Amino acid sequence: MTTYKGIDISNWQGSVDFSEVKNSGVQIVYIEATEGNFYTDPYLQEFYDGASSSGLLIGFYHFFSPSVLASEQAKYFTNAISGMTSDCRLVLDLEEAGSYGSAELSMLANEFLEAVEINSGLNVALYTYASFANNNIEPGYGLEKYPLWIAEYGTSSPESNSIWGSSYAGWQYSDTGRVRGINASTDLDLIYDGMFLDDREDIPKDQKQPQRIPGTRQEPSTQSGVIYYTVQEGDTLTSIAQKYDTTVHEIAVTNSIANPNLIYVGEVLKIYPGNRSIINRKKVFTTTYIVQSGDTLTSIAI
């Protein structure tokens, strides 16, 4: 089984010198495209052009939001990468369960992947952490038919799980790698032939054929990138929210924080500053409420 050196990148890495990345020995770049149905990575187009012009093999991934319909996310993802070409399977990044149990989440993930295949005409794969695979998804809901790109660090090989056993088509073995041309820590991956759209093992990588995502290429996103904030001694969600012109509720929802009064020094929070917040980009649903005897605005708001 042929092994390829890969990285996966997002706005977190900032601008990248892809010629230096290639010269460092990297062969494949997986690029974050979207999250939920509300966020397109602002570096998507720049990364795609840079990686393409440097002769790197390319793949795209979507970060799954449990609070958004799977079909909507699939449409949003494929629309964002329309008109581009990919060498590798389109990937669902599944690492948040929200309020769903393992069976429900497995069904939603399968629904997303099936919809992406229909929308794009391309094959897909699933990325998740080894611990997440064992605790939050389960067999019997269709995920076993897709290749697995697994993340686990500090081991000689990823641990087995109930769906794929010890089989995997990609392994993210570090999230603190340093690569020439990138001025930030970077995820490091080993990618195998099963992650390619053209997965014939007898075809050299430079002869594997990329495939085009149907549609017209989109304009670059005007959304600003997220901020990754490391919690410091004395921080509270209130002080962090004030610093970035957002709300405690939005930070808690984005980071799946059950108790907003409990955060830890060194914890990394994803923050959407000001009106770029995750909640402000979601659809707003309204409802009609008939005031009852004893109601106050406070009790209704709660």
Residues assigned a catalytic role: 8, 95
Q: Which of 134, 132, 63, 141 is nearest to 108 (CA)?
A: 141
Q: What angle do CA 44, 45, 49 make, to 5 degrees?
A: 120
Q: How far apart are the first and last CA of the chain?
A: 56
Output the DSSP codes for the chain.
--EEEEEEE-GGG-S--HHHHHHTT--EEEEEEEETTTEE-TTHHHHHHHHHHTT-EEEEEEE--TTS-HHHHHHHHHHHTTT-EESB-EEEE----TT--HHHHHHHHHHHHHHHHHHHSS-EEEEEEHHHHHHH--SSSSGGGS-EEEE--SSSSPPPBTTTBT--SEEEEEEEE--TT-SS-EEEEEEEGGGBSS--TTS-GGGPPPEEPSSPPPPPP-PPPPEEEE--TT--HHHHHHHTT--HHHHHHHTT-S-TT---TT-EEEE--GGGSTGGGS----------TT--HHHHH-
